[in-house]
Every structure is written in C-alpha cells, then in structure tokens.
Structure 1
C-alpha cells in the first residue's frame, strides 16, 4: 500500500557533513524516500577553496561515500548528490523550499540544560519550508530510532497533520505509536486512573474472541439510540452486543442529572 503523500512534492533531502551521525540520518531518510516514492537528495554545504571556485560533485568524498551506501541499501532508491557552496543553514533552508523533508544527523545532548538542537537544526526548526527530521546517534554510534513513536494530541490547528505524520512513521518503521492526549476535552485526562484502549471501528481489532476473560467484553455501555436499536435487534456491528451476546449491558437512556454529572467528573 502506497503511503499517503502528505508532504509536498520534492525530494527527501539529507544534510551531509562526513559525520557518522549524518550517515545514520541518511539511512533513516532512505527508508522515507522509498516509502514516499521520492528521490533521496544528499546535500553537502562546502566552502570554496578560492573565491568563485565551486567544487565538482564527483570530487566530493563525503557525497561519494554517502551515495554509495545509500544505493547499496536498495536498488529501487533514486539518489541525487549536490555540493553547494555556502553556509549550511542557508543552503538547507533553500533546499527546504522545494523538499518533501529535510533530514539531519546529530549527537544527543550530553550535558544537563544543553540546548536540544545544534545551530543548523535550530535554524531549520524555526524557518524550514517543509518537515524536518533530526536523527540522533548514541555515544556508541547507533541511531536512536528504536522504541515507540510518540505524538501529542492537542487542540492546535495543525494537530491532525502532526498525527497523520506520526501514524505514517509507525507504518514505515513498524513501530507502536504512543498518542499522548493533551486535549482540553480529553476523557483520558479526566480519568487518569482508568486504563483505556483506543481501537478504530472497522479494523477487525475491536472484538477478538478467545477463551481469555481478560480479553472478552464484560460490560457494554450504550446510549439511548443504541439502546433502542438493541431492543429491536438492529444494533451496529461495532458495538459489543452482537459480538458478545452474553455480555452485561449498561444503557444510558437519559441525560445525567447535574449532581451525578458533577460527581462523575470528580
């Protein structure tokens, strides 16, 4: 299944500086480029050896090594290289105006209170024209990319796009997506002591019968319309009653009184 193209058209750009962290970022970005069916563009910001001189790409050892490693990862990956004279911040900001994504490698902060990003990442975080990925490397040289993918649910206007990106990354990386619900009207926040499972209807995962009491439905809570439907045998298949005819049912047929409403919100 092809990934949803929520990025603008353009290549996946990686800032290359010859570091091991940059190579880790390039490997991460290569998977992204394959998933999005985009070209992987390796960019090295360089200083001209003399005024007006521009180094040829094929003489740039940093790009030659990176391109070789990228192409070895997949025969389907399209790779471009570019050695561009200029300050790395300015070069990558310009690249971000035409890119689907800009990716950087970085070491993890090692001192308490140290700024989370370096100069280039800070510049891109503030002004980039596309999404920016900062792939950190551990002290042992391995990339810090394993574990869950975390995303915050909040009331900001762009949160749906943020969530879409996180879910895409969960698919590409085959990782669990942890959704941290910070919305003002979040039921999970109102009841922090209650364990909650969120399952999308229609995915086939909401009701999986087996012999375990812990995985079966013991009590189904339904509203008035579903109570009427259940009485006539027309309840939706996404509810527990058709799937667990032996489960208990709590039917909320009237609006809660003010006192009970307040009590349940304590």
Structure 2
C-alpha cells in the first residue's frame, strides 16, 4: 500500500445534498471498501459566509441549516451503505466547505467531492465552488468525481496516470499503481511531449548518454519512470502511451474510457509556489471520469 498516508485513515467525502455529491459518496464508499477502511461523510453548514458585517445569521436560520444538514448526512449515509458494507461516520461542521474539507483532509486517505453542487439559496457555498480550492491546499490526495456514471463504471476500465518526469509525477504514479491494484484494473501511463520540450530533453548532457529523436528520448524517460513498479505491483498490467501533444488534451481524450485519472497538482514546468497547475485544473473541470490530484508531500505536511 502507499506509504504516504496512514492506512487506518478514512476516506473523507464532502456532501451538500446535491446529486453530484451523492455520486461522490457512492464512489468514495467503494474506494473505502477496496481499502478496507471506513468512510467519513462531512457536511459544512457555511455559517461564516452568512455573517453580514458583525451580525451573525439568525437563530432560526442556524436551526434550519442544522436540520437540513442532518437530513443531507442521513441521505448520504444511506447511499453509502447501499453500495458497500463499511463503517460510516457522519460529521457536521459550522464552517465553510473548502476550509472544512481542507482541515478534514489532514486525517484522510483520500478526500472526495463532487464536481458540482447545488446552487440553492446559499450562493457560493455549493460544493461545486470548492474543488480547485481543496485541490490546492488539501493534505491528502483529492478525488473530484466527474462523469455521469462515475460511481458505476466497470472496474476493468483502466486507471490513467500522467507522467512528466517530475518528482511529483512519481508520487502520482505511486497512487495510480495502488488504485489500479485495489481494483484489479490495468494502468495506462501517459507521457506527452511538445516542441517546447525539445530544448530541455535534447540537451548536450542528454546526448552524451543517449541519442535519438524527441520521441525516442520521451519513450526512454517513461520507461525509466516505470522501472521497478512492475515488481512492486505484479498484478497490474501497464500500457505505455507516448505522443506529441499537451498532457491534459491526451488525458481528457483517454478519460472517456477510463475509471480514474491521476495527476500531480503541478507539472515539471510549474512556477515555484504555484499550488495547482493548468493541466490539473483542466482535468478537474472537463475530464469524463473521476480525477485524483496528488500534491507534493512537503505541501501536504
């Protein structure tokens, strides 16, 4: 199992009463069952955002939101237990969704949320407004559950992982192999290159060790990154995809027939201090299957 996150931590799922959140609950419940761990369902009431200046929300509104939260968590717990025989814990918090989920992610194997939430009368508090914030600051890997059939896709569909040669993509590769092994699924490792890579990949130092086209060098780079993983996960069959193009464009296309895509929060060319790269943001917003975003270990700490 992956050694970054303690195995006894639960899978945490954010719920807000939307159908998207229930899909995330069902996905998270199945993932928790695969991991032989529990499920923690978290609902945020969003009270801080309801303050008008120094005036807190009325007692009547607070009571209404609390009752609504009880009902939302009960429905989510029922949805989880319909798909997996696991221990389920429910948590209600007064805070706003993004900061609450970021804090709960400190003790999570994964933090899972739907791709979009309800609009409701609490504009801006829907779970759909939080994926990028949570992905940028979470202490665990996060999964944004996308796709209409995300919670029921065949587990024979592949797990995708984007590899760009950075240390962070090595962490993404670790989680991707783990997810594929848990599901008995194949793994598709994707590395793309474009003309802007050539200056970096075909340096004199690189040519001193090897010669070839950009495609040749890219294929060797991917092979180097995959070396050793087959021994650790002999049950996972691996397909290599090396093509010219932008990473998110290829991963978006392949996500149509995948059950999960795993990426680092920022790539090899990311700016120092950048919390979420353009490729991972593109996948969060447009992938056809759930997206796992893995942040650097030092950031998670």
Q: Flag whether TM exceeds 0.5 (same fold).
A: yes
In structure 2, C-alpha distance between the alignment counterparts of 1:204 and 1:66, rounded to whole Å: 33
Residues 40-81 of structure 1: CA distance to partner in whole angstroms, max 9, x if unpaired?
000111145735957668961111011112123233x11000
Instruction: In structure 2, list runs of 5 or more residues that go unmatched.
Output: 48-56, 117-126, 194-200, 238-301
TM-score, normalising length from structure 1?
0.59
In structure 2, C-alpha distance between the alignment counterparts of 1:47 and 1:162, rounded to whole Å: 32
Deviation at 1:87, TM superposition (A): 1.1
TM-score, normalising length from structure 2?
0.52
Which structure 1 residue ranges, 4+ long, deviate > 6 Å from structure 2? 185-188, 196-199
User: Are residues 62 and 39 of structure 1, via their aligned partners in 2, closer, same or farther at CA, if it must alter by over 3 Å?
Assistant: same
User: Are residues 58 and 45 of structure 1, via their aligned partners in 2, closer, same or farther at CA, if it must alter by over 3 Å?
Assistant: closer
User: Are residues 66 and 148 of structure 1, via their aligned partners in 2, closer, same or farther at CA, if it must alter by over 3 Å?
Assistant: same
The yes-or-no answer on 1:190 pairing with 2:216 is yes
The yes-or-no answer on 1:92 pairing with 2:110 is no
Query: Paired residue for 1:143, among 143, 150, 170?
Result: 150
User: Over aligned residue pairs, what C-alpha RMSD do you find?
Assistant: 3.9
In structure 2, C-alpha distance between the alignment counterparts of 1:205 and 1:93, rounded to whole Å: 31
Alignment of 1:17-166 (within 5 A): 17-47=16-46, 50-51=58-59, 60-75=70-85, 77-107=86-116, 118-138=128-148, 142-143=149-150, 146=153, 147-166=157-176
User: Are residues 161 and 90 of structure 1, via their aligned partners in 2, closer, same or farther at CA, if it must alter by over 3 Å?
Assistant: same
Structure with greater Cα Rg: 1
Higher relative contact order (CA 8 A, sep 6+): 2
Deviation at 1:6, TM superposition (A): 3.7
Q: In structure 1, what is the equivalent of residue 190 of structure 2?
A: 180
